[in-house]
Structure 1
Amino acid sequence: MDNHDKKRALIIETATKRFAHFGIAKTTMTEIAKDLSLSKALLYYYFPDKISLYAAVLEHIAKKMFSKIKQGLQDMDNSEEAVLHLIDMRLAFTMKYYNLFDQGLNSLNEMPDELARVIQLVSDLEIKILADIFKKANERGEILTEDPTQAAEIFLNAMIGMRFCVLKDKKVMFIPTKEEFDEISKMQKKLAIIFLNGLRFQKQH
C-alpha cells in the first residue's frame, strides 16, 4: 500500500468512527480534518464532498462485514446454519454502526451516484455469498436448485421486501429503527427456513 492509499484508508477509518458516533448530519468535514490534523484542502483532495467520503465509509464497513461472514461460513456444512449466520452478522453490524444509517438521508430527493454504487456493490456481494451457500448445499444433495444465483437473488429480494412491511413510518426511505431492524431480522430467519424447506421439498419431488 503506497502513501496515497494509506492516507485514504486512515481518512476512512477516522470518518467511520465519527460517523458511527455522531451520524453523518452532525459530522462536518472540518471536524474530520481536525481529527486527522489535515488541512481541509487536503481532505477534499481525497474526497470532494461528505457524501463521497460517506460512501467510502459504507463500502469499508460492508467489505469488513462480508469478510467476517465468509470467515464464519468456512466450517459450516449446513445451508440453514449458514444463512442464519449471514442474517445474524448483518444485524450485528447494523447495530454496531447504526448511526451510520443517518435519518438525514431521508431528506435527499434522489440517491447520490456514490451511494447507489455502494448499495449495488453490497447487493452483489450478498448474492455471491448466498449463491455459494446454495451451490454447496446443492452439491451435498441437501437442496435442489438449478440456478443458485437466481435463487440467491429471489431470496435477497424477499428479505429486502420485509423491511418495508415492518417500517412503522412508511414515508421513511429505507432506515428502520433498531427495534424494527431486530423484528426484520427475526422475520428474515423464518423466511430462510421456509425458503430452504421449499428447496428441500423440490429435491424430494
Structure 2
Amino acid sequence: MNTQGPTRIQKKNRAVILEAALDVFSTHGFRGSTVDQIAKEAGLSKPNLLYYFPSKEAIHASLLEQMLDTWLDPLREMDPEGDPLEEVLAYVARKLEISRTYPRESRLFANEILQGAPRIGEVLSTDLKALVDEKIDLLTRWMKAGHIAQVHPYHLIFSIWSLTQHYADFDVQVRAVMGDQDPFQSAPEFIETLYRRLLTPT
C-alpha cells in the first residue's frame, strides 16, 4: 500500500485547479459552471483535472470546506475576556477585511446560500448555529451587564454579516457607484462609527 502523501506537483496542480474553480464558481455559480470551464481556466486538460477531482461537485465541496473555516474564524476570535464593545467592533473589522481579501470566496458562499445551501445546509444547522448561539449568549451577557447597548443579538449578527459582505458580494455595484474611490478606504471608519454609536450604552 502506498502511504506517501501527494507530491509537490500534485499539490501544485490541485491548488491551480481550486484557484481556477474559485474564479469560475464565483462568476457563474455552481449550476452555471462546468468542468470544461474550470479545466480551461486552470490550463489543464479535462482528463488531467479529473485525475485530481472526480467531479464538479468534488471541486466545489473542497472549496466550500476551505472557505467555511475562513468565514467562521472572525466570530470564533471574539474574546469573552476582552472589552465587550471593542470585541464587537474588532469582529466587524475582521468581517470587512474578509470581504476585502476574499471577495470570490464570499460570492461562492452567497451563491450557495441563494441556491438553498444544498451542499452546506448541514454545516449551517450544526457548526454555524452552535458557534452563533455561543456568541449570542456572550452578547446577551454583555448587554445585561450594561457593557453594550441592548439590541436584538441575532439581528446584530445578521446586520454585521449583511453590511460587511455587501462589499464583496455586490462589488460591481459598489464600484460602479463610487467610481474611482476605493470603498475599503472609507468603509472601515464609517462602519465602526455606525456600530460604536449603536452599541455604546446610554
Q: TM-score range by the shorter chain?
A: 0.5 to 0.7
Q: Partners in 1 of 2:130 and 2:189 — Cα distance?
A: 22
After superposition, give the CA deviation of every residue in 1:32-81 in whole Å (9 maximum; x if it has no partner). Answer: 6959x96615512xxx424x53354234223134335534x448621221
Q: Partners in 2 of 1:84 and 1:14 — Cα distance?
A: 36
Q: Partners in 2 of 1:120 and 1:188 — Cα distance?
A: 28
* Structure 1: tracts of 5 or more residues without a match: 168-173
Alignment correspondent of 1:18: 20
Given that residues 59 and 118 in structure 1 are in contact (C-alpha distance below 8 angstroms), is that contact kept between their aligned partners in structure 2?
A: no
Which range is displaced more, 94-103 or 11-20? 11-20
Q: Partners in 1 of 2:139 and 2:82 — Cα distance?
A: 11
Q: Partners in 1 of 2:145 and 2:198 — Cα distance?
A: 17
What percentage of aligned pairs have identical amino acids? 9
Alignment correspondent of 1:192: 195
Residue 141 (structure 2) pairs with residue 154 (structure 1): no
Given that residues 67 and 105 in structure 2 are in contact (C-alpha distance below 8 angstroms), is that contact kept between their aligned partners in structure 1?
A: no
* Structure 2: tracts of 5 or more residues without a match: 176-182
Correspondence for 1:82 among 78, 87, 105? 87
After superposition, give the CA deviation of every residue in 1:90-131 in whole Å (9 maximum; x if it has no partner). Answer: 12122222133459x87xx94451265666678636634642
Given that residues 17 and 42 in structure 2 are in contact (C-alpha distance below 8 angstroms), is that contact kept between their aligned partners in structure 1?
A: yes
Q: Partners in 1 of 2:89 and 2:74 — Cα distance?
A: 14
Q: How large is the Cα RMSD of the aligned pairs?
A: 5.0
- TM-score if structure 2 supplies the norm length? 0.54
Alignment correspondent of 2:38: 28
Q: How many residues align?
A: 174
The 1:141–1:102 alpha-carbon spacing in structure 2 relative to 1, beyond 3 Å, is closer
Q: Partners in 2 of 1:151 and 1:187 — Cα distance?
A: 21
* 1:49 maps to amino acid: K
* 2:169 maps to amino acid: I
* 1:175 maps to amino acid: D
The 1:130–1:195 alpha-carbon spacing in structure 2 relative to 1, beyond 3 Å, is farther
What does 1:1-205 correspond to in 2, within 5 Å? 15-19=17-21, 22-24=23-25, 25=28, 28=38, 34=44, 40=50, 43-44=53-54, 48-50=55-57, 53-67=59-73, 69-71=75-77, 73-74=78-79, 77-102=82-107, 110-111=115-116, 113-114=118-119, 124=129, 127-128=132-133, 130-135=135-140, 137-138=142-143, 141-143=146-148, 151-160=152-161, 162=163, 175-177=169-171, 179=174, 182=184, 188-197=191-200, 200-201=201-202
